[in-house]
Structure 1
């Protein structure tokens, strides 16, 4: 029996939410595709895992036999791949995988909401208060930064919507992975998908972006403990806003952002597993840089904070940044800029 791979399911939802879907191409997945996912070093098992919906716990760890039902390659979901996974899972009586594939197909095929509901995510440092109260703070959105959807959020975009919430004595909801709107770690069909995991206690704009303070709830339950633990360990490390863009300017040229957004209606703010934006990493750089004393720790730092592949992180740590031609100049420049900003902020 093959279990549902929650990491793969969540990654699939993040790709669908980002519009990274091939709806027409036929599906194939051979040994060359698998080797490509493992990277030049042949051992990027985290990347290999997240492209599969199934997990065979009877197989040895870090082997291809452990991962079943591939659905994506080159960081793109294939609709035909999900169809194949759903059909094979049904034949093998792997009900959890079949259900997850069906939910993803439904998400891909359903008409786009007329409300224009959008998501925008950033990686950020969860800064918890003292003790285990579940109180934390961080940025839900960063200004003047083009995200994976080629949108740029401008300063002042949240002014009106935050004033509206304040006048009503309310706050946007705190969901996990956008609840049923985003698929979520627990699956879009889960009856608890839209049950808030906490409450936001404060939101405000500053020069950097949308600053949030929140409080997790139900920490005495298994679900609450799981979410709290994942955040404290840095595995649930993104924050994403669900919103409707009510005021924006469209880019007129290919090299311009798709939209420059100057006003939104904010619906909810979610901790997420796979954030869509690579740029907001300065706070994480600041928190981890001082802990690095070995080459191995530097490799982990480059992979976990910088987002580099296992092979790239190893090569950079040993030979320097320009030793890795496979990484884009944009990623290198963004990461180096974050290092410089962190150094300046702590100077």
Structure 2
């Protein structure tokens, strides 16, 4: 997916076994925590970001590899929840080669993080600091992954979002400038018409004076 960004990876993932059921638990994202993305901008995820996304059909993957599915919300083997900290993830690990290998790697701490792939549907930018500050308010969530390394791709998409926000701000400023100029021109026309009317009235009064 060319418009997908990836974040997370260093928040930790743990194993939880109950009888024959083996579950990975962790957080794919935390709220209101600033992260510098590629020295281009600072990013923060708002608590509203996943409210709609968790209701969709999301897959659980290994290292964002779409060929290594280990869970899915539609089947109940992946469960997502939003709490006060962030996006909580539970994955029932399958009894497959990938599932068994993943369980061993998490137990050994070779794989120690959760990440997520997403598309931003609503963000805001603040450029008053040294680096632009992006707040993500809403996303479309494609997948969550158990990962070995933090993922901060694709920074170019974030930069394009910043450029679009700047273009929109420039457009708004231009529209506000044009509106101000149009309002001033309208006021001048009204003042001119008023002055002409008053002049005509004075002329009529002078003509009516004996």
TM-score bracket for the superposition, by shorter chain length: 0.5 to 0.7
Please tell me whether residue 118 in structure 1 is matched to residue 9 in structure 2.
no
**Aligned match for 1:194, one of 34, 56, 67:** 67
User: Structure 1 residues 148 and 133, CA, compared in 2 at 3 Å: closer, same or farther?
Assistant: farther
**Distance in 2, Cα, partners of 1:217 & 1:140:** 20
Question: Which ranges of structure 2 fall in alignment gaps of 5 or more residues?
Answer: 153-210
**Distance in 1, Cα, partners of 2:105 & 2:86:** 24
Please tell me whether residue 240 in structure 1 is matched to residue 115 in structure 2.
yes
Equivalent position SS for 1:268: strand
User: Structure 1 residues 218 and 129, CA, compared in 2 at 3 Å: closer, same or farther?
Assistant: closer
Q: Residues 114-171 of structure 1: CA distance to partner in whole angstroms, max 9, x if unpaired?
A: x3x11111321314133463212111100011224232101011112223x2xxxxx3
Q: Residues 190-234 of structure 1: CA distance to partner in whole angstroms, max 9, x if unpaired?
A: xxx523023443211111001111111134x3x332211001111
Equivalent position SS for 2:47: coil
Structure with bigger RCO (C-alpha 8 Å, 6+ apart): 2
Whose strand proportion is higher, 1 or 2? Answer: 2
Match of 2:99 in 1: 224
TM-superposed CA distance for 1:272, in Å, is 0.7
Match of 2:33 in 1: 145
Please tell me whether residue 209 in structure 1 is matched to residue 86 in structure 2.
yes
Match of 1:176 in 2: 62
Match of 2:53 in 1: 161
Match of 2:24 in 1: 136
Contact 2:13 2:114 in 1 (8 A): no
**Aligned match for 2:146, one of 271, 276, 280:** 271
**Distance in 2, Cα, partners of 1:176 & 1:208:** 23
Q: Residues 88-120 of structure 1: CA distance to partner in whole angstroms, max 9, x if unpaired?
A: xxxxxxxxxxxxxxxxxxxxxxxx92x3x1111
The structure whose Rg is larger is 2
Equivalent position SS for 2:35: coil
Q: CA RMSD in A?
A: 2.2
User: Structure 1 residues 256 and 143, CA, compared in 2 at 3 Å: closer, same or farther?
Assistant: farther
Length-normalised TM-score, structure 2: 0.61
Length-normalised TM-score, structure 1: 0.38
